[in-house]
Amino acid sequence: RLDATNVITPLVCVITNIAMEHQFFLGSRLMDIAGEKAGIIKEGVDLVTGASQPEVVKFFQSVCDEKKAPMFRLGKDFRSRTTATGFHYSGRALRLKKLNLGLRGRFQARNAALALAVIESLKEKGFEVSSRDIRKGLKKVCWPGRMHLLGTEPTLILDGAHNPAAIRTLADCIKKEFAYRRLILVIGIMEDKEIGRIVRNIVPISDYTLYTRPLYPRAADPRLLMDAGAALGKAGEEVIPLPRALDRSRKMAGPEDLILVTGSLFTVGEAMAYLDPEAYGPDET
């Protein structure tokens, strides 16, 4: 409803999913958040969504019906699956097999499917996007700070997951898709997030956790994070500032270990600028 994109009338609207986040602005209940997200739905404009909660889907459909906006839903109007041969998409008219996704993480298949459903809507409106371009685009796509591999021996992954659902997905991905001896977690979270749930969803997979904070006013005190993690029986310590925590993690890690930096896009952004200043450092003024 308050989204900045409402200054334009788009060709397609997209609501990827609904999860508990930004509650201070969007509300404390899932349906409150869905109501705010539905504010981007426009009169007569296609909605593409990956929302799966029955009550949310029903609500979105009612808003779309009221605004005469066609709604296309993942799992109903378009589908995808991932096999050993690649990513496969089946939509309203588009069928593509053996696609290669440039983004790491099996969960990115959902995002890719949503993107292809948007392309289908655009093609129906006269835009030409060839299968060759789709294959090339999916293979070459880059999303800094999301399952971002920034080093090997030890493996260094940065991911800006910052709500319980995203952190849970990240933890599942790390366990299933990476081989490592030990996992060293570097985590910094904003104080307005569900700190307890985020910590519970990621700290159990770590062997050692460094609780820290980025240089940002909303960053939570690392002691709050450490208190949340204390009951989980995992070793850890408070290390500030963030660059010191990153240095400590790399000194602790062996070549077969994995370092995971997560908890906030602010944490990941600062880490990227510190670890690779040439590529991600602030612009010179």
Sequence ranges of the chain with CATH classification 3.90.190.20: 148-280
The answer to whether the beta carbons of residues 113 and 79 sit under 8 Å apart is yes
Model pLDDT, residue 143: 86
pLDDT-derived band of residue 25, with 50, 70 and 90 as boundaries?
very low
Mean pLDDT, range 196-215, rounded to an integer? 97
Helix, strand, coil distribution of the chain in percent, nearest 5: 40, 20, 40
Please tell me the pTM assigned to this model: 0.81
Position 285 scores a pLDDT of 53
User: What is the mean pLDDT of the segment spanning 254-266?
Assistant: 97
CA pair distance 172, 9, nearest whole angstrom: 37
The H or E element containing residue 236 is strand 236-238
The helix/strand/coil state of 123 is helix
Tell me the per-residue pLDDT of 44-56, one tens digit each, with 9 for 90 and over.
999 999 999 899 9
pLDDT digits (tens, 9 = 90+) for 174-201: 999 999 999 999 999 999 999 999 999 9
CB–CB of 224/199 below 8 Å? no
Would the pLDDT of 60 be above 60? yes
- CA distance linking residue 267 with residue 59, whole number of Å: 34
The yes or no reply on domain 4-140 and CATH 1.10.10.10 is: no
* Residues belonging to the chain: 285
The CATH class given to the 148-280 domain equals alpha beta
Q: Residues spanned by CATH 3.40.1190.10 within the chain? A: 4-140
Confidence of residue 145 (pLDDT cuts 50, 70, 90): very high
